Chains A and B, each alone.
Chain A
């Protein structure tokens, strides 16, 4: 065991993991995080707390993770390289471990242009792959990036993202391989809408044997309305929403029911796909739907390890 977190236990025991995302509030209320924690608690193995997603200022990921931890949830702390340099990131990691956080997700982060402080200076001192390497070195060698020794234990289960829908497509598996080489233990992918394209990517992943070196959790975003489907298709970079899904949402009597059905069908297909070790649900503002989705997908109860 690298960190002994619940997520690590589920994945290393060969289980099909379920994680979900909880975005912290644009404010100071712990209740906002706790409410999402309460909803997701029994149906997920771990819950990600985003790090100022889409470059909009929110409560810090580390604080959100501690609030979830207090509810008995295994948190995944997301770290973007957009806002902190190597000094601040390593410092936050030490603090997070001291507070009992064991899962970390290494990300580049959405560009600050998309957020509510577009005039901010982007830091990008190191990139996401170098961040993975940095955490691995901290854990395995107990050394900072500088080579200085770290005192105390440094248990970490290291995660990274992958987007099979970005270009160039052929390079995507190479980038995954680099992340695995850098030290990623698990991967949470961009939301899957185009299942055949995801399957093609997974085939390339398996051809390189990467599915045996890293746990891949496929991303799911339940769509609430036709407008949301169109918005994601047109405005969210790196997300690919096929025309068929938009049409289904537009023609549905109840958009919410249709969105639920699409998410469920996607989970069912991903469950059967060789090399996929779990799902990661990003129900942005629609967390209430997650327990039912996991239940209908036959993934309850979650294992108690």
Chain B
């Protein structure tokens, strides 16, 4: 599982950094390095680009994993250079950008667009398979999520646009409902398709507002572990 990112167009980055003359750069040693969007090479390249555009780069670092508390210590260690900047250009995913927000009062600006949390289905190739809706329907759909893999989030598909195993939206998108039908057929469970899937409960998804979870709620032992640490 990796967070897939793509670098924003240079014009958009320049526009975002309007009035931010001194910039501190942060990259990430995990997903953004793998995506070649925010590893050491890209950070160094961005530094040169910013300087050529007349910005002062007060410093840079590539945090091994920006989305955990390592970022806090890394920002503390580099405090003089970070605090000397007007803002932080974060060449990390949105999780990393918001981790920076947790630990620094310098405003972060994302240099990357976060695409999705992907599953590597073949080496170097990722697909989006889960939208974290908090109400899993995989049991009704042969283990393939129609909410995220169908362009119309149909729970009773396929729609009338499924042709030759492809989605009407693009010939590059497989129709997940064709795959679901094929898998159910192979498993001798086509009868499952006769059932009408009920309306989805979106209240537990992001529609209900940002979600939080304390591990002590689900695992009482967690609190004790923390206490003895």
CB proximity to A under 8 Å, residues B145-179? 151-165, 168-169, 175, 178
Contacts A167-B162, A167-B164, A167-B165 given; does A174 touch B193 at CB 8 Å: yes
Q: How far is the CA of A111 from the CA of B153 in the complex (A)?
A: 11
CB proximity to A under 8 Å, residues B199-224? 199-200, 202
Q: Which A residue's beta carbon lies closest to that of B163?
A: A167
Cβ of A181 < 8 Å from any Cβ of B?
Answer: yes
Q: Is the CB of B152 within 8 A of A237?
A: no
CB proximity to B under 8 Å, residues A165-217? 165-168, 171, 174-175, 177-178, 181-182, 190
Residues of A within 8 A of B197 (CB): 130
Cβ of B75 < 8 Å from any Cβ of A?
Answer: no
Q: How far is the CA of A242 from the CA of B156 in the complex (A)?
A: 29
Residues of B within 8 A of A175 (CB): 156, 158
Q: How far is the CA of A175 from the CA of B168 in the complex (A)?
A: 18
Cβ of A113 < 8 Å from any Cβ of B?
Answer: yes
Q: Which among A162, A168, A174 is the interface contact of B178 at CB below 8 angstroms?
A: A168
Q: Is the CB of A161 within 8 A of B160?
A: yes
Q: Which B residue's beta carbon lies closest to that of A85?
A: B202
Q: Is the CB of A145 within 8 A of B199?
A: yes
CB proximity to A under 8 Å, residues B73-119? none
Q: How far is the CA of A145 from the CA of B198 in the complex (A)?
A: 11
Residues of B within 8 A of A5 (CB): none
Q: Is the CB of A171 within 8 A of B152?
A: no
Expressed in whole angstroms, the minimum distance between the Cβ of B137 and any Cβ of chain A is 12
- Residues of B in contact (CB 8 Å), total 30
Residues of B within 8 A of A161 (CB): 160
Q: How far is the CA of A242 from the CA of B199 in the complex (A)?
A: 37
Q: Is the CB of B159 within 8 A of A182?
A: no
Cβ of B46 < 8 Å from any Cβ of A?
Answer: no
Contacts A167-B178, A181-B196, A238-B168 given; does A127 touch B155 at CB 8 Å: yes
Expressed in whole angstroms, the minimum distance between the Cβ of A170 and any Cβ of chain B is 8
Residues of A within 8 A of B159 (CB): 108, 128, 166
Contacts A168-B178, A177-B194, A237-B168 given; does A108 touch B163 at CB 8 Å: no
Q: Is the CB of A111 within 8 A of B168?
A: yes
Cβ of A124 < 8 Å from any Cβ of B?
Answer: yes
B46-84 vs A, CB cutoff 8 Å, 1 = contact: the mask equals 000000000000000000000000000000000000000
Q: How far is the CA of A82 from the CA of B151 in the complex (A)?
A: 11
Q: Which among A145, A166, A174 is the interface contact of B161 at CB below 8 angstroms?
A: A166
Q: Which A residue's beta carbon lies closest to that of B156?
A: A129
Q: Is the CB of A82 within 8 A of B152?
A: yes
Residues of B within 8 A of A174 (CB): 190, 193-194
Contacts A108-B152, A124-B152, A171-B181 given; does A237 touch B161 at CB 8 Å: yes
Residues of B within 8 A of A182 (CB): 196
Cβ of A133 < 8 Å from any Cβ of B?
Answer: yes
Q: How far is the CA of A166 from the CA of B178 in the complex (A)?
A: 11
Residues of A within 8 A of B181 (CB): 168, 171
Q: How far is the CA of A190 from the CA of B156 in the complex (A)?
A: 18
- Candidate in B155, B168, B175 with the most chain A CB atoms within 10 angstroms: B168
Q: How far is the CA of A161 from the CA of B197 in the complex (A)?
A: 18
Cβ of A122 < 8 Å from any Cβ of B?
Answer: yes
Known: A127-B153, A165-B160, A166-B158; 5 extra A-B contacts, CB below 8 A, are: A113-B151, A125-B202, A129-B196, A177-B194, A238-B163
Task: Give 25 A-B contacts (CB < 8 Å), ordered by A residue.
Answer: A86-B199, A111-B151, A111-B161, A113-B151, A122-B153, A126-B199, A127-B154, A130-B156, A130-B196, A133-B196, A165-B160, A166-B158, A166-B161, A166-B162, A167-B158, A168-B178, A168-B181, A171-B158, A171-B193, A174-B193, A175-B158, A178-B196, A190-B160, A237-B160, A238-B161
